[in-house]
Amino acid sequence: MLPAGEAVSVHMSLRRPRSYGSGIHLADHPQPEEPAMTVDRPSRPARRSAGVLAFAAATALLVAGCASAGTAGTAQSGGGASAPVQVGLLYSKTGLLADYGKQYEQGFQAGLAYATHGTGAVNGHKIDVVEEDDTGDPATAVADAKDLIGKGVKILAGTTDSGVGLQLAPLAAQNQILYIAGPAATDALTGANTYTFRSGRESYQDIAAAGSFVGDPSGRRILVLAQDSAFGQANVAAVKAVLGPKGATVSQVLAPPSATDLTPFAQQVKSARADLVYVAWAGTTAPALWTALDQQGVLGSTKVVTGLAGTASYPIFGNAGSKVSFLAHYFPGAGGDNPVETAMLNGVKQAGGTPDLFTPDGFTAAQMIVHALQASDSDTGAMVKALEGWSFDGPKGPEQIRAADHALLQPMFQATLTGSGASAQPKLLASLTAAQVAPPVKPMAG
């Protein structure tokens, strides 16, 4: 079992294991309790973003779509003497997860413009977004969060890293502020406390989406191919935890992380004759792995599944990409004929950004915040009540915040890649409904 805050990926990546949204966490691991925040702590300088003002050029495109379901906000101008509402946005502006942080931030700004009808205001109050760089480090994120709370911020959002999210959640409960986690995937954030929500998917939904490629897992043989490391072992344990209770038999082939000749392991996989092979691989040997699996006929003899990461990862599959089945949290176009996704894509592009894997997580967070602020700009209890059970149309499709534990029920996707190298592009195979991949209900921890 992994210690609290350790990040483990569910996909193959050239980065270190936590790069796909900080990955699988097997259980609600105990965490050290944060001392209550004291407001007389010396403040750190806050870096204010340009907020929705940077999106003025994109507003015209966004306003047209605001009548669709799931749009929150108000058409009021936000002028007059009404004080602005401050929202703290914590994300990895620098560090190993900076690419993902950028996607999240761009989605957030587009979502804020969309949900407020281009005004950047709710009920006459301008939303002032204060951005802080968590650098992917829990200590930095906690210091930033305490500084923001000390200045009176009632809403925090963000973080790609699960270790960061697990530190911010108890801080939200101690100070009774609203916290909406970003792409951080750890299941432990679901049901963490009354004040914590999430705007992205969680690891259970990833594994359930992978298992969907064999339909009913009962009686199926599922093999996990991974490295013999904490990362690989955690993925084996997670697949067993999610699909084992549904009747699947789960085995594994684990290769030494230092191995460069991966042919023997590809041969072991083929000999196992599994119904589904789930690949969880991290590191620079990934292209060699996919070549070996292709050359040994594995990709043609069984269903091979892995997670679809960001666009930068597409070329590493080489010619094997079209033979691999991908579970997908999101890729541009996955939402189909969805006006909310169209508004997100247009908003991000008009602002000079590029939509990618975690863009919807930021967009959805903004939708949630605007909806919460419609209920109250200062009463956190009213904000929480407004969000619990809320159903809305997000960029991925219909979504709902489960009242019992704040899980974000959402669609997931099956995909494949067409083309190879720099021309590789994802192609949607199927959309999985929120109910098909819904995690079990958890008791609220506090």
Mean pLDDT of the chain: 85
Q: What percent of the chain has pLDDT over 90?
A: 76
Instruction: List, for residues 78-121, the tens digit of each pLDDT value.
Output: 344 489 999 999 999 999 899 999 999 999 999 999 999 999 99
Record the pTM: 0.82
Domains present along the chain, CATH in parentheses: 31-201+335-408 (3.40.50.2300), 205-328+414-437 (3.40.50.2300)
Residue 91's pLDDT is what? 96
Residue 421's pLDDT is what? 83
Residue 27's pLDDT is what? 32
Using pLDDT thresholds of 50, 70 and 90, give the confidence band for residue 402: very high
Instruction: List, for residues 36-79, the tens digit of each pLDDT value.
Output: 333 333 344 444 444 433 333 344 333 333 333 344 443 333 34
Instruction: List, for residues 428-437, the tens digit of each pLDDT value.
Output: 999 999 999 9
Q: What percent of the chain has pLDDT over 70?
A: 82
Residue 76's pLDDT is what? 38
Using pLDDT thresholds of 50, 70 and 90, give the confidence band for residue 33: very low
Task: Report residue 102 CA to chain centroid gap.
Answer: 13
Using pLDDT thresholds of 50, 70 and 90, give the confidence band for residue 184: very high
Q: Is the pLDDT of residue 162 over 70?
A: yes
Q: Is the pLDDT of residue 12 over 70?
A: no
Residue 442's pLDDT is what? 96
Using pLDDT thresholds of 50, 70 and 90, give the confidence band for residue 5: very low
3-state secondary structure the chain: CCCCCCCECCCCECCCHHHCCCECCCCCCCCCCCCCCCCCCCCCCCEECCHHHHHHHHHHHHHCCCCCCCCCCCCCCCCCCCCCEEEEEEECCCCCCHHHHHHHHHHHHHHHHHHCCCCCEECCEEEEEEEEECCCCHHHHHHHHHHHHHCCCCEEEECCCHHHHHHHHHHHHHHCCEEEECCCCCHHHCCCCCCEEECCCCHHHHHHHHHHHHCCCCCCEEEEEEECCHHHHHHHHHHHHHHHHHCCEEEEEEECCCCCCCHHHHHHHHHHCCCEEEEECECCCHHHHHHHHHHCCHHHHCEEEEECCCHHHHHHHHHHHHHCEEEECCCCCCCCCCHHHHHHHHHHHHCCCCCCCCHHHHHHHHHHHHHHHHHCCCCHHHHHHHHCCCEEEECCEEEEECCCCCCEECCEEEEEEECCHHHCEEEEEEEECCHHHCCCCCCCCC
Residue 234's pLDDT is what? 85
Using pLDDT thresholds of 50, 70 and 90, give the confidence band for residue 283: confident
Instruction: List, for residues 341-394, the tens digit of each pLDDT value.
Output: 999 999 999 999 999 999 999 999 999 999 999 999 999 999 999 999 999 999
CB atoms near residue 233 (< 10 Å): 19
Using pLDDT thresholds of 50, 70 and 90, give the confidence band for residue 420: confident
Residue 55's pLDDT is what? 39
Q: Contact 225/252 with Cβ under 8 angstroms? A: yes
Residue 230's pLDDT is what? 81
Residue 121's pLDDT is what? 97
| Mean pLDDT value of segment 258-285 | 95
